Amino acid sequence: MSTRREFLKKAALGASALSFGGILEGVSARSYSNIKGANEKIRVAAIGVNSRGGALAANFAKQKGCEITYICDVDSRAIAKCSDAIAKIQERKPKIEKDLRKVIESKDVDAVIIATPDHWHAPGALMAMQAGKDVYLEKPCSYCPEEGEMLIRGKEKYNRVLQMGNQRRSWPNVQEGIQALKEGIIGNVHFGKAWYTNNRPSIGIGKEVPVPEWLDWDLWQGPAPRVAYKDNVVHYNWHWFWRWGTSESLNNGTHMIDLLRWGMDLDYPTMVNSAGGRYFFNDDWETPDTQIINLEFGGKKSMTWEGRSCNGRTIEGSSVGVMFYGDKGSLLITGSDGYRIFDMDNKVIKQQYSKLEIDPRNLMNPAESLDALHINNFFDGIRKGAVLNSDIVSGHKSTLLMQIGNISQRVGRSLNIDSANGRIIQDADAMKYWSRDYEPGWEMKL
């Protein structure tokens, strides 16, 4: 795969200028089809397929030039369900395996999808790149900031294609709206607001019980320090435990804060603070269910993220979204592929939306056809050397904003940030959260 990609890059003579879905600049469709390897199938392993990963595996399998060769999960039920679903889409039934380490070493795998719990994201992606695989990595790209920094270095060291799954970067009308912002449609954008709302129920008080026969609990924990199995963690509730999860701010906030950072052309903040907590229910949920993260940047610009996991009252009529505020108007992007522009008198002066219906609260597959655009951008990165819509550098920056917000929440104070690199300034206690403890033998190493 590495040789093929390097050859195509040299043949392209300008592949970095590719538009989505196009043929290499200066190479006709006929001559491109004759390039060795250009039309070979990309063999993909789907790792973590219980919910979102299962939907991604099916979406990948439906794309031209892709074959799912492996299904990997620590839950034998999820493996069987996903494997059967993929067999109905493609000609060959994929192989199955519970240990991702065995999968990424297979010669039948060119690229991997990583849709595991968050604590596995960066370690899994790094191991895959070290094994010579390209990676489609679900958000957030990392559990903690140090892991994101290591992924950037790993991508360069191992020369792999690494796309983060904040798929709105590939949605056409969202792209159009962001471009309009950059062209000054609402003037100077000085403030951005992002949000996510839902009505999540209590997770209760977990009990230590025997590990179910269908689950490899040791492999599920992987890089995280070991604890006994409780009956209210697997599958989804791990999001709300600091040992494995990263709170609603990274679970859903990463998507929205990424749109703000992209539209406002911002990188690292100068100050971050967070307020909130576990306000609903008396249960094992550790991360905030109610949270406000404020971020200040240079040049008189700021943004905020509001997360309400247990009160689903919408904002601007949508459970998720962002609003950009400028000196000539405002621009709204919600959970749909589209945008709406308001003048200073709140009059709608333009709107553009896709006819496709999207359910942002769907945990598994909110927008399959639109996500396919992001998947094919990943494939173009592998085949043609195309510029990724969500490379690991931009993915890390957006992930980092929410991670610093969580660090502020956990230490209980505002944090001053070096706007050159995103690192916390002169706060040793806060920097303890920059990295994490690993189960011995599972440490990330370049």
CA 427 – CA 414 distance, rounded (Å): 10
In a domain, 284, yes or no: yes
In a domain, 441, yes or no: no
Least Cα distance to 78 among 131, 25, 132, 116 occurs for: 116
In a domain, 411, yes or no: yes
304 and 263 in one domain? yes
175 and 163 in one domain? no
In a domain, 13, yes or no: yes
Least Cα distance to 92 among 20, 43, 131 occurs for: 43
Q: What CATH number does the domain containing 128 carry?
A: 3.40.50.720
180 and 320 in one domain? yes
- pTM score, whole prediction: 0.89
Contact yes or no for 92/67 (Cβ under 8 A):
yes
In a domain, 446, yes or no: no
CA 143 – CA 269 distance, rounded (Å): 19
In a domain, 445, yes or no: no
One pLDDT digit (tens) per residue for the chain, 446 residues: 444 344 333 333 233 332 223 222 222 332 333 332 455 899 999 999 998 999 999 999 999 999 999 999 999 999 999 999 999 999 999 999 999 999 999 999 999 999 999 999 999 999 999 999 999 999 999 999 999 999 999 999 999 999 999 999 999 999 999 999 999 999 999 999 999 999 999 999 999 999 999 999 999 999 999 999 999 999 999 999 999 999 999 999 999 999 999 999 999 999 999 999 999 999 999 999 999 999 999 999 999 999 999 999 999 999 999 999 999 999 999 999 999 999 999 999 999 998 776 666 554 555 788 999 999 999 999 999 999 999 999 999 999 999 999 999 999 999 999 999 999 999 999 999 999 999 999 999 99
CA 159 – CA 5 distance, rounded (Å): 10
Distance of CA 207 to the CA centre of its chain: 31
246 and 306 in one domain? yes
160 and 122 in one domain? yes
Q: What CATH number does the domain containing 231 carry?
A: 3.30.360.10
154 and 42 in one domain? yes
Q: Residue 354, class by beta-carbon neighbours within 10 Å (0-12 exposed, 13-18 middle, 19+ buried)?
A: middle
Mode of pairing for the β-strands spanning 348-353 and 338-342: antiparallel
Question: How many residues would you count in the chain?
Answer: 446
Question: Residue 31: enclosing H or E segment and its boundaries?
Answer: helix 29-33
In a domain, 275, yes or no: yes
272 and 418 in one domain? yes
The 10 Å Cβ neighbour count of residue 394 is 19
377 and 284 in one domain? no
88 and 111 in one domain? yes
Least Cα distance to 276 among 251, 314, 248 occurs for: 248
Concatenated DSSP letters of 307-362: EETB----BTTBSEEEEEEESS-EEEEESSSEEEEE-TTS-EEEEEE-SS---TT-
Residue for token pair 């093929």: 4
Residue for token pair 């990274």: 250
Q: How many domains does the chain have?
A: 2
Residue for token pair 């967070």: 274
Axis-axis angle for helices 118-130, 145-158 (nearest 10): 20
Q: Residue 303, class by beta-carbon neighbours within 10 Å (0-12 exposed, 13-18 middle, 19+ buried)?
A: buried
Token representation of residue 153? 């270095």
CA 445 – CA 420 distance, rounded (Å): 25
CA 132 – CA 135 distance, rounded (Å): 10
CA 143 – CA 134 distance, rounded (Å): 20
Concatenated DSSP letters of 230-275: BTTTTTGGGGGSTTT--HHHHHTHHHHHHHHHHHTT----SEEEEE
The 10 Å Cβ neighbour count of residue 28 is 10
Beta bridge partner(s), residue 320: 196
In a domain, 443, yes or no: no
Task: Say which DSSP state 188 is in.
Answer: S
CA 138 – CA 54 distance, rounded (Å): 12
Instruction: Give backbone dihedrals phi and psi of 199, rounded to 5 degrees, phi first.
Output: -120, 70
21 and 75 in one domain? yes
Contacts of residue 423, defined as CB under 8 A and 6 or more positions apart, other chains included, come to 145, 417, 431, 434
Token representation of residue 74? 């620590």
Mode of pairing for the β-strands spanning 271-277 and 134-137: unpaired
188 and 146 in one domain? no
Q: Supply the range of the domain harboring residue 309.
A: 171-360+394-431
Task: Say which DSSP state 72 is in.
Answer: E
334 and 241 in one domain? yes
Least Cα distance to 436 among 412, 403, 408 occurs for: 403
Contacts of residue 33, defined as CB under 8 A and 6 or more positions apart, other chains included, come to 39
Distance of CA 343 to the CA centre of its chain: 32
